[in-house]
Amino acid sequence: MEFQERSAGPVTIVDVSGRFDSADANGRLKDKVSSLLCETRTLIVLNLAGVTYLASTGLGELAATHAMVTRQGGRIVLVNLTKRVAELLAICRLRTVFDVFETEAEAVADLSVAIGV
């Protein structure tokens, strides 16, 4: 799993690519987001377009990451879900936990409105 990070105003966009399972992820997403929170970057978009595989451990890490961000007063949303990832989120009822957007622009606009930018 790899991460590329960029900013759109107050919003941090993290492009996630590769396999998202215990062997490849192993807490790396949580570590990445934790480092963003330490820099007080609390508005985060996870772009999952490059995720080639998502296992149950990856779903657990997504949920734990969401809880961590929320506890610290931030907000994390998902964008560009593949069909398979969208299905898994729906089956596991995580679609009710995450705000999911079709495009990055929609996600950034929603987060920006939330803070009055």
Q: Give residue-wise pLDDT tens across range 89-100.
A: 899 888 889 999
Each residue's pLDDT tens digit, 30-62: 999 999 999 999 999 999 999 988 888 888 889
Domain that holds residue 34: 2-114
Count the domains in the chain. 1
The pLDDT score that the predictor gives to residue 108 is 94
Instruction: Say if residues 1 and 20 touch (Cβ distance below 8 Å).
Output: yes
Query: Percentage of residues in the chain with pLDDT exceeding 90?
Result: 59
61 vs 115, more confident: 61
CATH number at residue 66: 3.30.750.24
CB count, 10 Å around CB of 6? 11
Each residue's pLDDT tens digit, 58-83: 888 899 999 999 999 999 999 999 89
> Parallel, antiparallel, or unpaired for β 11-20 and 43-54?
parallel
